[in-house]
Structure 1
Amino acid sequence: MTPFIHPVSVRDLSVAYHRKPVLRDLSFDTPEGKLIGIVGPNGAGKSTLIKAILGLLPLTSGKVEIYGKPYREQRHMIGYVPQRESVDWDFPTDALDVVMMGRYGKLGWFKRPKAEDREFAMDCLEKTGMADFANRQISQLSGGQQQRVFLARSLAQDARIYFMDEPFVGVDAATEKAIIRILDELKGQGKTVLVVHHDLQTVREYFDWLLLLNLRQIAFGPTEQAYTADNLQKAYGGRLTILPEMAGVAALR
């Protein structure tokens, strides 16, 4: 029998900025075909974790494997949606060109995209409800529309694992529903999706598994096991109020 290889395997991962520890000794193996929330207070290291996994930040110690191999050998398997504020939205390009960028991982940077690549990109815009805005400059789009375009770009990468950093921040309710619908479709295709998330009240609704983080790993596992009052208190401390009448839903003070 062939042993199961986890989509993402993290071992003893630590990261420091200017010698100050930001993440310490994280170890976990993700299941396949699940929506996995990465949750914790501001400054907990959530975005840092994604960047470290993707090789955008150096590790102080530990290692990361994507389907059993180093990230640099498996880049073609990864789709990434960064935080909106990290993107230069004044860059002179239209929505379709942004989505086409997602095809270059499959093509290689020196091959010209073909008609079928353009069709695939338009398909991704259609899925995110942005086909009518294909020729619109990204600077002219609303925050929610920009987020949908970046989601379409990640879909164009046709990846097996997706990392999304706060995809619901600054979007309207319709866009949030559209995003979660697409994430559910990816899960249905057997893809693994890791999402940095801040809204505790939707954690149970959105995610199958949960990584609860505050510089250290507080809990990792199925949401019904990891999302407990005790674990939330460990992660958020005095900034969190547990409301018994809300059946375990937590609220920030």
Structure 2
Amino acid sequence: MNSPLKVRDLAVAYQKKPVLKNISFSVPEGNLVGIIGPNGAGKSTLIKSILELIPSLTGEVEIFGSSYKASRKKVGYVPQRESVDWDFPTDALDVVTMGRYGHLGWVSRPRKKDRQIAMDCLEKVGMADFAGRQISQLSGGQQQRVFLARALAQDADLYFMDEPFVGVDAATEKAIISLLNELKQQGKTVLVVHHDLNTVKEYFDWIMLLNVELIGVGPTEELFTKEYLQKTYGGKLTLLDSAAAAPAGR
């Protein structure tokens, strides 16, 4: 299996409390991978530790056969919307243009070509008309689209997205999944922290079931079952039976 991401024996703790334990997995190239689990399972922590945004106690991360530092230009990241300072005085086009900095280095200024790429990415997410709008004046769904456009501008091969569907309207959710499928068709690999179990079968080829420890990782059709969901959610599993039993929407 060609794998852009391999993780071995990853462990993370906050104030000596284990948040992730013994995490080892690899994911296949060119797939949409949903990271699924209850609140507090360590889903966002997993992404942040892979991207070295937080320290890990143990573990190795291999991205395209190298360290994250060596492969940084190949990686795109969409953080949780609430973790972003939306009052920062900048407009949508500038935010998306920031996605080009990995191709420029920190000294060079964006070229006309980079601004055009940023505009093209805004167009793809339906936000070209808002290029000059301050990000603080955008709705939640519009802000999310801008951050997706920034990730697109990075022209990465491996993407991490932390709950991109949270707090967006139906039109934005449809636009996001359309974009994810386009990335997949281009051979990109996308890992998405996701909470809506009703759309898991429809959206993802693979899933990763996580609750501090890794419950399972593999094709959605094999792992999205009542048995695996019970192992993942335990006593919190209440109204999930219908989600596991529902047919895929593809």
TM-score, length basis structure 2: 0.96
Deviations 1:145-187 (A, max 9, x none): 0000000000000000000000000000000000000000000
Equivalent residue letter for 1:233: Q
Q: Is it true that 1:134 corresponds to 2:124 in the alignment?
A: no
SS state at 2:6 partner: strand
- In structure 1, the residue matched to 2:167 is 170
Q: 1:210 aligns with which of 203, 207, 212?
A: 207
Letter in 1 for 2:186: Q
Contact 2:226 2:244 in 1 (8 A): no
Paired with 1:201 and 1:114, the residues of 2 have a C-alpha distance of 43
> What is aligned with 2:120?
123
Counterpart among 75, 91, 94 of residue 94 in structure 1: 91
The alignment of Structure 1 onto Structure 2 pairs a total of residues equal to 247
User: In the aligned structure 2, how far is the partner of 1:173 from the partner of 1:238?
Assistant: 30
Determine if contact 2:8/2:60 at 8 Å carries over to the other structure: yes
Equivalent residue for 2:155, pick from 152, 155, 158: 158
Q: Give the fraction of aligned pairs with identical amino acids, expressed as a percent.
A: 70
Supply the distance in 1 between the matched residues of 2:243 and 2:195 (Cα, whole angstroms).
18
- 1:147 and 2:144 aligned: yes
Unaligned runs of 5+ in 1: none
In 2, Cα distance between the equivalents of 1:246 and 1:232? 10
CA displacement, residues 26-78 of structure 1 (integer Å, 9 cap, x when unaligned): 11111000000000000000000000000111111111010111101100000
Per the alignment, do residues 244 and 5 of structure 1 end up closer, same or farther by CA in structure 2, a change over 3 Å counting? closer
Query: What is residue 40 of structure 1 aligned with on the other side?
Result: 37
How far off its partner does 1:25 sit?
Answer: 0.4
Matched residue, 1:236: 233
1-side partners of 2:17 and 2:122: how far apart?
41
1:72 corresponding residue in structure 2: 69
Question: Match for 1:28 among 21, 25, 28?
Answer: 25
Per-residue deviation, 1:226: 1.1
- 1:138–1:74 CA distance, 2 compared to 1 (3 A): same
* 2:226–2:241 CA contact under 8 A, matched in 1: no
Q: CA 1:103–1:247 in structure 2 vs 1: closer, same or farther (change >3 Å)? A: closer
Q: Deviations over 1:98-140 (max 9, x none)?
A: 0000000111111111111111000000000000000000000
Query: 2:82: which partner in 1?
Result: 85
TM-score scaled by length of structure 1: 0.95
Q: 1:5: Cα distance to partner?
A: 4.9
**How much has 1:241 moved relative to structure 2?**
2.6
Say if 1:128 and 1:77 are closer, same or farther in 2 by CA, change over 3 A: same
Which consecutive unaligned segments of at least 5 residues does structure 2 have?
none
Amino acid at match of 1:22: V
Q: Do the aligned partners of residues 245 and 63 (structure 1) sit closer, same or farther apart at CA in structure 2, a change above 3 Å counting? A: closer
Match of 1:189 in 2: 186
User: What's the offset of the Cα at 1:19?
Assistant: 1.2
SS at structure 2 position matched to 1:104: helix
Does the residue aligned with 2:87 lie in a helix, a strand or coil?
coil
Instruction: Return the alpha-carbon distance in structure 2 between the equivalents of residues 45 and 243 of structure 1.
Output: 20
SS in 2 for 1:219: strand
Partner of 1:16: 13
Higher mean alpha-carbon deviation, 53-62 vs 43-52, is at 53-62
Is contact 1:9-1:64 (8 Å) kept? yes
Residue identity opposite 2:26 in structure 1 = D
Question: Which aligned segments of 4 or more residues in structure 1 are displaced greater than 6 angstroms?
Answer: none
| Counterpart contact for 1:81–1:151, Cα < 8 Å | yes
